Amino acid sequence: MRARGLIVALLVLLLSAGFIGPSSADTSFTIDTTLPFDEIVTNTCSGETIEFIGQDHIVIAVDVSTDSYHFKFHANGQLTGDVLAPILQPGVYSANQTEDQEQTVSMGNDIYNLVTTFVAVNHVNPKVNMKLITELQINFNAKTLVKSHTNAQCEVLP
């Protein structure tokens, strides 16, 4: 009995001194957010300046292990686009997106740049549709997501 008491006392001493600790289990978290979208871009096919307004609902499920972050990304967005120039034309464009991605990122890369794409359809002239390429940043330590910027890419159709 006395040996058992010594072992328990030694374990309590080691725990309190920080020499050993409970096992560090893998953790996980979810970022579930709706990002407002209000961007002005130029369609290089048509020369139009377009303002896209809407929202992008994003869910990112992250599993954290001792050496990596594994995440599943889901986005669902809806935008409307008004041509501002050369002539004001409300509601000419719409852009919808449903996108899924899965990635594994090495530990130490605590901020990860993620690219997601909307297809923007011109309802007046579908020959000048375009892609909206949005860059996001996941901060694994802060458990946050921010939109950094959006670029437009012309999609010329025959």
Q: Are 60 and 71 in contact (CB under 8 A)?
A: yes
d(CA 59, CA 26) in angstroms, rounded, equals 20
In a domain, 8, yes or no: no
pLDDT at residue 82 is higher than 50: yes
Question: Which residue range(s) make up the domain with 53?
Answer: 24-156
pLDDT of 54 reads 96
SS3 124: coil
pLDDT in tens, 5-27: 444 444 343 334 444 333 444 58
Which tokens go with 150?
Answer: 């959006």
In a domain, 19, yes or no: no
Q: Which segment, 26-30, 90-94, 109-113, 149-153, is predicted with the most confidence on average?
A: 90-94
In a domain, 119, yes or no: yes
In a domain, 4, yes or no: no
pLDDT of 157 reads 62
pLDDT of 26 reads 54
Question: How does 53-83 read in b/e, with b if 16+ C-beta sit within 10 Å?
Answer: ebebebbbebebeeeebebebebebebbbbb
Q: Name the residue with higher pLDDT: 17 or 126.
A: 126
In a domain, 100, yes or no: yes
In a domain, 101, yes or no: yes
Lowest mean pLDDT among 29-38, 126-135, 148-157: 148-157
In a domain, 65, yes or no: yes
Beta strands in the chain, from DSSP E residues, in sequence order: 27-43, 48-64, 68-85, 89-106, 111-122, 128-139, 144-156
In a domain, 71, yes or no: yes
Number of independent structural domains in the chain = 1
